A and B are shown apart, each in its own frame.
Chain A
Amino acid sequence: MIYLTKRLGLSAAVILLVVAVLFSLLHLIPGDPATIALGPRATPEAIARYAAKMHLDEPVWTQFLIYVGNALTGDLGVDVFSDRPVATIIGERLGFTLALVCAGLGWAVLLGVPLGCLAAVRPNTALDRVTGLLSVGTIAVPSFLVSIWALLIFAVGLGWLPAIGAGEPGDLGDQLRHLVLPAFAIGLSWVGYLARMVRASMLEVMGETYIRSARAFGLRPRRVVFGYALRVAILPTVTLIGMGFGGLISSTVFAEIIFARPGLGKLIFDAVMARNFPIVQGGVLVATALYIVVVLLSDLIVAWLDPRVRETL
């Protein structure tokens, strides 16, 4: 219980601070907050409505509490142009982002973790060297460059896969084909990252005394590697996946912009370009919350996998 309470409390505090940062960004800028929030193109009515809703005549502290209260109840404000609730708009787009993130991370995990294991089991062999080189190579190439070059080669040059959009709604095959390139682009550096991470923690665990004990008891190598070493080595890897998720969100933003995919990142980017501040604010809050939740989840998974922490859960 203690661990869970602490961890949840910390996440809540971070989210609260994030909200505070977003709130103060708006208020630190000189000028009328309503005009800044709604942008130069907002109508006077909209500004008056916003001012009333946010209680702009009240002290800043009250305004903050109202802002937090709204955010907690899912009220992220209203889109300046369409007058639709921001939460609804984000909800429509979030699915595309989540699909992309899952696909990208998914193939990276499926390839990277086994590669890392194999490299760790046979250190200093050709396989290990190739994996090492591949890891460094893929980590060094920025994901947005992978996106651009993948677009150039597979969509523009070879014409194998569609370049832009997310596919026809309802047509699963088309949607999947549209997913391939962006998922490839955001997952590529993760293959290397994971392979290296798994290899390093596997090598460390393989040197532990309890691995030698398992071998001294004559357990099969497969059992020692996957039942014992990986069982321990996976713990830091899960933590690192959680921590690296922020980077994954960043790559997703790029991929969505480059492949014109209507996800959360593209939404925020377009809103920034149009100075549509309610959308920016809401989108940033959701993206950040997503990251915090993933980190929390990864920590809880690690805690659950590790009996030493599970006890305090």
Chain B
Amino acid sequence: METGLPPVDASRLPEDALEDTMRESAARERREKLRMFLTSWQGMTGLVLVLVFFASAIFAPWLAPYDPNALNIPARLSSPTAEHWAGTDQLGRDTFSRILYGGRVALKIAAIGVSVSLVVGLILGMMAGFGPRWLDNLLLLLFDTVRAFPTIILALATVALTGPSLELVLAIVIITSIPQYARVARTATLSLKSADFIIAERSLGASTPRILFQHVMPNVVGPLLILAAMEVPVVVTVEAGLSFLGLGVLPPTASWGTILNEGYLVIRDTPWMVIAGGVPLILTTLGFTFLGEALRDIFDPRMGKGR
């Protein structure tokens, strides 16, 4: 690789040195983004709520004051008291403990559901965007078909056949959210496919896998991760909703949905159960929404709120 030209002494070039000071360095930009995040109350509130969600779900066995399934009939349908912070249900079970354990179900569904659909959606989306036209059309048709089933309707149709279960909830969550990720990944890939830098890579002789994994994927993953943060509330809500309808987690397992379900049945006797079952759900969805919004504003201002 010898070309015979002597290297040029860069210090002789004042114009570049000048430019150098004018332009922001990458490190400075990263610091600036971190600072933006840390000073946005939305992002911080979101972060705190999300951390609380994770911690309470993971450490539920140590945090819960009672066994979530321990019956205590004499204390049934109690309002919040010093012993039962969130009251008790119609069987006298401690609602606060059940909320903590319910968070474990939500976390499990969210973690598995979001990560599986993210990965599958990314792969399918990149295939659709980068592959031949017929593959794109076929995958789009499939995505459209899946999206044509409103989530709950699809859940109802399958539950009618298989009966309710946690695995079913997970399957439905994954199936219905894959098209979301795939569409975002496809759009991003498609716009990159004809981008100059991809053509430049091809002109150098880069192989398709190299282009896909080295040059396309890093530019597609960002928006998908932001979407994932925004999708967690959806997944948690779907689980709670299906369990509320009796189509998901089955009693006596504690889930926010089953707490709401049981609370709905006794809504004329006590308001506390539907309140207690709803609050953690709202806090979790709020937390992830805030976090997702803040991340999006910082990393991809075009996608969201403008300035």
- Indicate whether A and B are direct neighbours in the complex (CB within 8 Å): yes
Once the chains are docked, how many angstroms separate the CA of A258 from the CA of B145?
28
A130 close to chain B: CB less than 8 A: no
B158 close to chain A: CB less than 8 A: yes
A145 close to chain B: CB less than 8 A: yes
Q: How large is the interface on B (under 10, 10 to 19, 20 to 34, 35 or more residues)?
A: 35 or more
B74 close to chain A: CB less than 8 A: no
Contact yes or no, A246 B305, CB < 8 A = no
Contact yes or no, B150 A139, CB < 8 A = no
8 Å CB contacts to A: which residues of B289-307? 289-290, 293, 302, 304-307
Residues 135-166 of chain B, each 1 if its beta carbon lies under 8 Å from chain A, else 0 = 00000011011011111111011111110000
With both chains docked as a complex, state the minimum distance between the C-beta of A229 and any C-beta of chain B, in angstroms.
Answer: 12
A199 close to chain B: CB less than 8 A: yes
With both chains docked as a complex, state the minimum distance between the C-beta of A233 and any C-beta of chain B, in angstroms.
Answer: 11
Contact yes or no, A269 B150, CB < 8 A = no
In the complex, which of the residues A250, A281, A288 has the most CB atoms of chain B within 10 Å of its own CB atom? A250
A-side contacts of B150, CB under 8 Å: 246-247, 249-250, 253, 287-288, 291
* Chain B interface, DSSP helix/strand/loop, else mixed: helix
B38 close to chain A: CB less than 8 A: no
Contact yes or no, B267 A152, CB < 8 A = yes
Once the chains are docked, how many angstroms separate the CA of A268 from the CA of B282?
27
Contact yes or no, B241 A254, CB < 8 A = yes
8 Å CB contacts to B: which residues of A237-280? 243, 246-247, 249-250, 253-254, 257-258, 265, 268-269, 271-273, 275, 277, 280
8 Å CB contacts to A: which residues of B199-224? none
Residues 272-313 of chain A, each 1 if its beta carbon lies under 8 Å from chain B, else 0 = 110101001100100110011001000000000000000000
* Chain A interface, DSSP helix/strand/loop, else mixed: helix
Contact yes or no, A272 B160, CB < 8 A = yes
B95 close to chain A: CB less than 8 A: no
Cβ-closest chain A residue relative to B305: A200
A-side contacts of B293, CB under 8 Å: 136
Interface residues in chain A, defined as those with a beta carbon under 8 Å from any beta carbon in chain B: 10, 13-15, 17-18, 21-22, 25-26, 29, 36, 120, 123-124, 132, 136-137, 139-142, 144-145, 148-149, 151-152, 156-157, 196, 199-200, 203-204, 207, 243, 246-247, 249-250, 253-254, 257-258, 265, 268-269, 271-273, 275, 277, 280-281, 284, 287-288, 291-292, 295
